[in-house]
Amino acid sequence: MAAHAKAQLSSGIVDMFQLAAYAVCENNSRGRRFKESSPHHRTEFQRDRDRIVHSAAFRRLEYKTQVFVNHEGDMYRTRLTHSLEVAQIGRAIARILHLNEDLTESIALAHDLGHTPFGHAGQEALNRCMQDYGGFEHNLQSLRVVDELEEKYADFNGLNLSFETREGILKHCSLSNARILGEVGERFIKQQQPSLEAQLVNLADEIAYNSHDVDDGLRAGLITIEQLLAVQLFREQYEHVVRNYPDLPQRRVIHEVVRRIIDSQVSDLVESSRVCIGKVKPQSITDIRCANDTLVSFGPGMKQLNQELKHFLRSALYRHYRVLRMSIKAEKIVSSLFEVFMNDARLLPPEYYRKVASEKSVNSVAGQARVVADYIAGMTDRYAISEYERMFNPMMST
Ligand code: MG
């Protein structure tokens, strides 16, 4: 076993699996913003994961959705089940590639914490509302949730997560925001790559949402198997399943196809990443950061197949008239709430009004807008709908 893998971790736990020399381990962590003593009986990244799982923002993911609105049915993915699926896929690949599973899991579970209600439509609406006040970006908001908005601990705001989890959450960032963020935004200024664990979660996210959008889209009747047969990734697996199981009920066929799509993507990702890593031969996390490109990657063939699937989902599912109708409602709810709270901050719940009052003295209207955006982004789908009713339906109690 390599020396680095035998090393006693700072939390006192010996890593059970051999980490690659270029994986993140506690010994090369850049630490937390507020100094804390090492955890007992768990690793630093397990502590991050546990704090994420116990956060209010994580619980709210149960009632937030990506494409479908929460009340449409109990069988659809929510942001919570999506995050669990990303963590499952991420952990499996991390183990095969000898990367840090605990860190991968933490980043995966936290990656969607900053999402608004109503998925993409809600995010776009809030971004439009915030355009004169610095914009709204869900990656940045996820970081804001774990750095500032969770108010649970005695010694600090936020969850005080390790640098590596925070950096992994921040998938994209403009240069101007990177400068404001300091250390965690540094890699965007230096044009460096994130850890392989962060790169991995990014693609595990893609594998999870593409495959579950196929599954949920079929279940909702918004797309059909006949349409999907035009997509090679689906068609190949579908033909294989019906050839081998001609009498299988359709629901089982769909599940078999979806799980095979996930499996083929995971296998491709593992093999292609091994090849990329083998070419660059990184010896440390610094080599990963300084590489010209990301090293966790699909091969060219799978990239193309994925593009075809994404293109299909964009045109057939995300632009389906029923999805667009919901997007219009989401836009109306988010922008109406934003407008009403910007016009009169006294209508906000007291804890948010207090923040506006203190922010305003420092940062004027932009400060108020950020507090209103935090309030709206934190809402679940159903909370946003009932808050809209309370504000605009005279028959509803306030
Ligand atoms: Mg996601």
DSSP string, 286-351: HHHHHSSS-SS---HHHHHHHHHHHHHIIIIIITSHHHHHHHHHHHHHHHHHHHHHHH-GGGS-HH
137 CA distance to ligand 1 middle (Å): 13
212 CA distance to ligand 1 middle (Å): 11
Look at residue 17 in the predicted model and tell me its pLDDT: 65
Q: What residues contact residue 138 under an 8 Å CB cut-off, 6+ apart?
A: 112, 114, 115, 116, 123, 377
111 CA distance to ligand 1 middle (Å): 6
Distance CA 139, CA 125 (A): 16
Strand partners, 8: 14
What SS3 class is residue 156?
coil
Q: What percent of the chain has pLDDT over 70?
A: 92
81 CA distance to ligand 1 middle (Å): 10
Q: What is the mean pLDDT of the chain?
A: 91
Sign of the dihedral through C-alpha 354, 140, 125, 77: negative
Distance CA 72, CA 214 (A): 16
330 CA distance to ligand 1 middle (Å): 19
Q: Residues 135-189: pLDDT tens digits?
A: 999 999 999 999 999 999 999 999 999 999 999 999 988 888 899 998 999 999 9
Q: Residues 53-87: pLDDT tens digits?
A: 999 999 999 999 877 655 566 667 889 999 999 99
Q: Which amino acid is at 228?
A: L
pTM for the full predicted model: 0.92
Task: Answer whether residue 25 shows pLDDT above 80.
Answer: yes
253 CA distance to ligand 1 middle (Å): 25
353 CA distance to ligand 1 middle (Å): 31
Please give the backbone phi and psi of residue 162, each rounded to the nearest 5 degrees, phi first.
Answer: -70, 155
* Among the listed residues 146, 167, 166, 164, the one whose alpha carbon sits nearest the alpha carbon of residue 156: 146
Look at residue 166 in the predicted model and tell me its pLDDT: 97
Q: Residues 240-282: pLDDT tens digits?
A: 999 999 999 999 999 999 999 999 999 999 999 999 999 999 9
Measured at the CA of 343, the angle between CA 342 and CA 346, to 5 degrees, comes to 85
Look at residue 318 in the predicted model and tell me its pLDDT: 87
Classify residue 118 as left (phi > 0), alpha (psi -120 to 50) or beta.
left
Look at residue 292 in the predicted model and tell me its pLDDT: 93
82 CA distance to ligand 1 middle (Å): 7
327 CA distance to ligand 1 middle (Å): 18
22 CA distance to ligand 1 middle (Å): 25
108 CA distance to ligand 1 middle (Å): 8
What SS3 class is residue 162?
strand
76 CA distance to ligand 1 middle (Å): 15
Task: Give the pair of three-digit tokens for residue 113.
Answer: 């914490």
Q: What residues contact residue 43 under an 8 Å CB cut-off, 6+ apart?
A: 9, 11, 13, 15, 26, 102
Q: pLDDT-based confidence at 6, cuts 50/70/90?
A: very low
262 CA distance to ligand 1 middle (Å): 15
Look at residue 7 in the predicted model and tell me its pLDDT: 35
205 CA distance to ligand 1 middle (Å): 5
Distance CA 150, CA 127 (A): 22
Look at residue 2 in the predicted model and tell me its pLDDT: 38
What CATH fold (topology level) applies to the domain 21-30+43-322? Hypothetical protein af1432 (1.10.3210)
338 CA distance to ligand 1 middle (Å): 24
Strand partners, 14: 8
354 CA distance to ligand 1 middle (Å): 32
Q: pLDDT-based confidence at 395, cuts 50/70/90?
A: confident
DSSP annotation of 28 reads G
Would you call 186 exposed, middle or buried from its count of C-beta atoms within 10 A (0-12, 13-18, 19+)? middle
Spans of all domains in the chain: 21-30+43-322, 326-392
Distance CA 350, CA 341 (A): 12
* Among the listed residues 81, 90, 106, 85, the one whose alpha carbon sits nearest the alpha carbon of residue 259: 85
Over residues 282-304, the mean pLDDT reads 96
Look at residue 70 in the predicted model and tell me its pLDDT: 56
